[in-house]
Amino acid sequence: MFPVARAAQSLVARGIQHTAVRHAHRKHEPTFHDKYGTMVLLGGATMFTAVWSYVFTTLKIEWGVSPVGRITPSEWRE
């Protein structure tokens, strides 16, 4: 390996090691997602289910019902 490339590689490796050590010794404080992530997810899923349940029950959609035989043509007027 060329001396310049080897020196650059060691500098990069040393920088990564320093960053890893710095993060390892730092006290971990919970973020918003650590604290409330599950509750926000469950709240959103509950809201989604409630809204779509309301929509489907108030629209009175008849699923898969064919109009054949129930619709009769009206008389032709001239």
Residue 67 domain flag? no
Indicate which CATH number applies to the domain containing 32: 4.10.51
Grouped pLDDT means (10 residues each) for the chain, 78 residues: 69 71 69 88 96 86 69 76
Residue 13 domain flag? yes
Look at the block and give the residue holding tokens 């129930």: 70
Residue 66 domain flag? no
Report the C-alpha dihedral over residues 66, 68, 70, 71, rounded to 10 degrees. Answer: 120
Residue 1 domain flag? yes
Residue 78 domain flag? no
Model pTM score: 0.43
In terms of residue numbers, what domain contains 48? Answer: 1-56
Domain count for the chain, please give it: 1
